[in-house]
Structure 1
Amino acid sequence: MILQTERLALREAGPDDAAFILELLNAPGFLTGIGDRGVRTLDQARSYIEERMVESYRLQGFGMWIVTPRTGEAPIGLAGLVKRDVIPHVDVGYAFLESAWGKGYAREAAAAVLELARGRLGIDPVAAIVNPDNLASRRLLEKLGLRLVDVRQLPGWDQPSAYYLTA
């Protein structure tokens, strides 16, 4: 367990999360808002977990964590921290199944991740990148206290990204 909020628990991903990761990474909202990760099978999902998520925990001490309701239900999303080569700061990220949209889960999870980053991990500032057309995520970032720096084309990315930083 990485952290808990009033309604959510965040934990590290493992091989048993492959079906969830496969579902989330191929959800229409993920493909449109974040991008296609090319994960199409359970084996690819297990490799994604091991090579991207678990490797980040090992190398960085943080990463994208599985978000579940504290009631012990199935995973509903991801939230966490990512260190990318294409931006200078660690960034906060989140993605949820469409069934979890509109319930405040992304805000609750992202706020907890920001508190963890700036507090226990001593990471400040924290960045966020988002598809400029994703107005819901942009509003959420602003509610969390991040400010828009600019819209930039990141190396190796197909679309521009709105770049935010904590104040």
Structure 2
Amino acid sequence: MSVQIETERLRLRLISPALDAANTLALLNDPGFLRFIGDRDVRTEQQARDYIATRVLASYALHGFGMYAVERSADGAWLGNAGLVRRDGLPGPDIGYALLQEYAGQGYAGEAARAVFSHARGALGLQDLYGITDPDNLASAAILRRLGMQQRGLLQLPGSEEWVTCFATPGAACIAG
């Protein structure tokens, strides 16, 4: 499997345990990630490699998509990740994105999300797409709205006590079934 998505300022590529463990470790422990996405209990580079293997590479193999490394084209800086996630409790894949705090507020998350949305619709042929956010994450909600997604309300995903705001493309419902 090979994925290379290019935008004006970014390159999205498959995540590799060998190449991306240190950056993934930093992202998973970034204050914004911990606040709005959650603690994945990954504290070492070996745990980050294991996380990539069991979560990211497994998604590539099972679904043909997953999270991708987001790099700035100009200098190769690793900014975070963006991609598609298949979650229990949602009827289809959702667009996810997270950037290291130092790169927030510069339009990179929106640009990466637009690229993933286009890739999902074009290359993967997916029509119904979803997005979930922490109810307090107004910046992330704004990105999903700019993609044309509509807020569908709050829900709890299986196995979670947290409520999330669910967004979906027009005509799609956030409840499976």
* Both proteins in one fold, TM over 0.5: yes
Q: Secondary structure at the match of 1:38?
A: coil
**Alignment pair present for 1:74 and 2:82:** no
Following superposition of structure 1 onto structure 2, how do residues 7-46 of structure 1 map, counting pairs within 5 Å?
7-15=9-17, 16-46=19-49
Q: Which residue, 128, 132, 141 being the options, matches 2:131? A: 128
Distance in 2 of aligned mates of 1:97 and 1:139: 18
Structure 2: state its 5+ residue gaps.
171-177
- Matched letter for residue 42 of structure 2: V
Distance in 1 of aligned mates of 2:136 and 2:50: 30
Could you tell me how far 1:39 is from its partner in structure 2? 0.5
Aligned residues: 167
Q: Secondary structure at the match of 2:59?
A: helix
8 Å Cα contact 2:88-2:158 kept in structure 1 = no
Distance in 2 of aligned mates of 1:86 and 1:39: 24
**Alignment pair present for 1:87 and 2:90:** yes
Q: Secondary structure at the match of 1:111?
A: helix
User: TM-score by structure 1 length?
Assistant: 0.97
8 Å Cα contact 2:113-2:143 kept in structure 1 = no
**Superposition CA RMSD, Å:** 1.0
Distance in 1 of aligned mates of 2:32 and 2:161: 17
Following superposition of structure 1 onto structure 2, how do residues 78-157 of structure 1 map, counting pairs within 5 Å?
78-157=81-160
Q: Secondary structure at the match of 1:109?
A: helix
- Matched letter for residue 159 of structure 2: G
Residue 6 of structure 1 aligns with which residue?
Answer: 8
Could you tell me how far 1:119 is from its partner in structure 2? 1.3
Q: Secondary structure at the match of 1:152?
A: strand
Distance in 2 of aligned mates of 1:74 and 1:50: 22
Distance in 2 of aligned mates of 1:44 and 1:13: 15
8 Å Cα contact 2:133-2:164 kept in structure 1 = yes
Distance in 2 of aligned mates of 1:117 and 1:150: 23
**Percent identical residues:** 49
Q: Secondary structure at the match of 2:38?
A: coil
Distance in 2 of aligned mates of 1:102 and 1:42: 27
Structure 1: state its 5+ residue gaps.
none
Q: Secondary structure at the match of 1:32?
A: helix
